[in-house]
């Protein structure tokens, strides 16, 4: 077998592809031929080429999917049947097909969420220790706006995750510039938010089958603390809006259009499912209800 880079812990497959281009001295279009599995374009965030990558890295397709793609994040909020379907689809489709499945989950219609993010401290430490830096999967997830390891605000680069990999964008963190974005949320809440993303990814798949029961139990508990024997929906929605603030909610495209029982946090707690950024909605609601 010819040389191919081994994925680093939590490295996105797109980052492995970029490093392969660097190490083998090939443009992305030529790397496609090395991967030999019938797909066409390479992307930063949309997974594909599982057969070729599995052969070249000696890791199984399902290992690659679980450890090196955004699949565990995209599966947040999905009942086990839909999760299994998503897994099958991601493993078998081309990157272009998978872009359709992942765009809404990752909020790629929003400017600040559609650009590659990195942590300067991670980058500097990696360059020192391993001689190169790489793109982390966790840093690409909506809700992770500070590095879970260093608690530093992530830098947003000028590179969009949307186009296919080319000579122009096949770059590693040490080759790009970026600066933190003001998300309109205090550092402590941003850290707790990142922690809830990590926790949500690791929850057992069955958690999401009847998650609204769990949410309503928390909401009742909040009601009880306020000496009420019911879930005060309107008060909860108002408190939710106060916790995150309109600036942040607007920035992530999840502003409330009302503060009544038809507000999205109330509908989500009642079991509403499909909507863009479903995963981030669950994460914001979980943080609100549990703390």
Residues that bind Zn ion (CB under 5 A): 119, 121-122, 147, 149-150
Tell me, what DSSP letter sits at residue 174?
G
Please give the structure tokens belonging to residue 65.
């999917």
When the beta carbons of 177 and 225 are compared against Zn ion, the nearer one is: 177
User: In whole angstroms, how close is the CB of 200 to Zn ion at the nearest point?
Assistant: 20
User: In whole angstroms, how close is the CB of 139 to Zn ion at the nearest point?
Assistant: 8
User: In whole angstroms, how close is the CB of 215 to Zn ion at the nearest point?
Assistant: 31
Separation between Cα atoms, residue 105 and residue 39, nearest integer Å: 23
Contact 53, 13 (CB under 8 A): yes
* 271 Rama class: left (phi>0) / alpha (psi -120 to 50) / beta: left
When the beta carbons of 122 and 263 are compared against Zn ion, the nearer one is: 122
User: In whole angstroms, how close is the CB of 192 to Zn ion at the nearest point?
Assistant: 17
User: In whole angstroms, how close is the CB of 130 to Zn ion at the nearest point?
Assistant: 14
User: In whole angstroms, how close is the CB of 183 to Zn ion at the nearest point?
Assistant: 17
When the beta carbons of 146 and 284 are compared against Zn ion, the nearer one is: 146
- The residues pairing with 115 across neighbouring beta strands, listed in sequence order, are 160
Contact 136, 10 (CB under 8 A): yes
Separation between Cα atoms, residue 72 and residue 235, nearest integer Å: 32
When the beta carbons of 119 and 219 are compared against Zn ion, the nearer one is: 119
Bridge-based pairing state of the strands 155-160 and 115-118:
antiparallel
Separation between Cα atoms, residue 139 and residue 143, nearest integer Å: 9
User: In whole angstroms, how close is the CB of 184 to Zn ion at the nearest point?
Assistant: 22
* Core vs surface per residue 185-201: b (16+ CB within 10 A) or e: beeebbeebbebbeebb
Q: Give CA separation, 169 vs 83, 153, 158, in Å.
A: 31, 23, 10
When the beta carbons of 40 and 121 are compared against Zn ion, the nearer one is: 121
When the beta carbons of 137 and 286 are compared against Zn ion, the nearer one is: 137
DSSP string for residues in 114-142: SEEEE-HHHHHHHHHHHSS---BSGGGST
When the beta carbons of 122 and 170 are compared against Zn ion, the nearer one is: 122
């Amino acid at each position: 077998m010819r040389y191919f880079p081994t994925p680093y812990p939590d490295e996105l497959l797109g980052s492995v592809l970029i490093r392969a281009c660097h190490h083998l001295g090939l443009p992305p279009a030529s790397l496609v031929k090395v991967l030999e599995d019938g797909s066409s374009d390479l992307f930063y965030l949309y997974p594909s080429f599982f057969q070729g990558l599995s052969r070249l890295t000696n890791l199984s397709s399902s290992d690659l999917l679980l450890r090196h793609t955004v699949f565990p994040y995209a599966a947040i909020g999905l009942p086990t049947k839909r999760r299994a379907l998503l897994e099958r689809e991601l493993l078998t489709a081309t990157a272009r097909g998978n872009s359709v499945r992942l765009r809404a989950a990752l909020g790629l219609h929003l400017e600040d969420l559609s650009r590659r993010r990195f942590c300067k401290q991670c980058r500097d430490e990696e360059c020192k220790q391993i001689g190169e830096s790489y793109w982390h999967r966790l840093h690409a997830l909506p809700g992770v706006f500070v590095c879970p390891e260093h608690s530093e605000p992530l830098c947003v680069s000028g590179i969009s995750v949307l186009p296919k990999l080319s000579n122009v964008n096949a770059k590693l963190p040490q080759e790009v510039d970026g600066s933190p974005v003001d998300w309109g949320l205090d550092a402590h809440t941003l850290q707790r938010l990142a922690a809830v993303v990590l926790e949500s990814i690791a929850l057992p798949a069955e958690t999401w089958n009847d998650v609204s029961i769990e949410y309503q139990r928390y909401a009742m508990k909040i009601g009880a603390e306020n000496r009420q024997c019911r879930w005060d929906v309107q008060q909860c929605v108002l408190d939710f809006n106060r916790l995150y603030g309109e600036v942040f909610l607007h920035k992530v495209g999840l502003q409330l259009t009302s503060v009544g029982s038809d507000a999205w946090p109330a509908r989500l707690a009642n079991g509403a499912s499909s909507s863009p950024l479903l995963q981030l909605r669950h994460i914001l609601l979980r943080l609100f209800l549990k703390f």
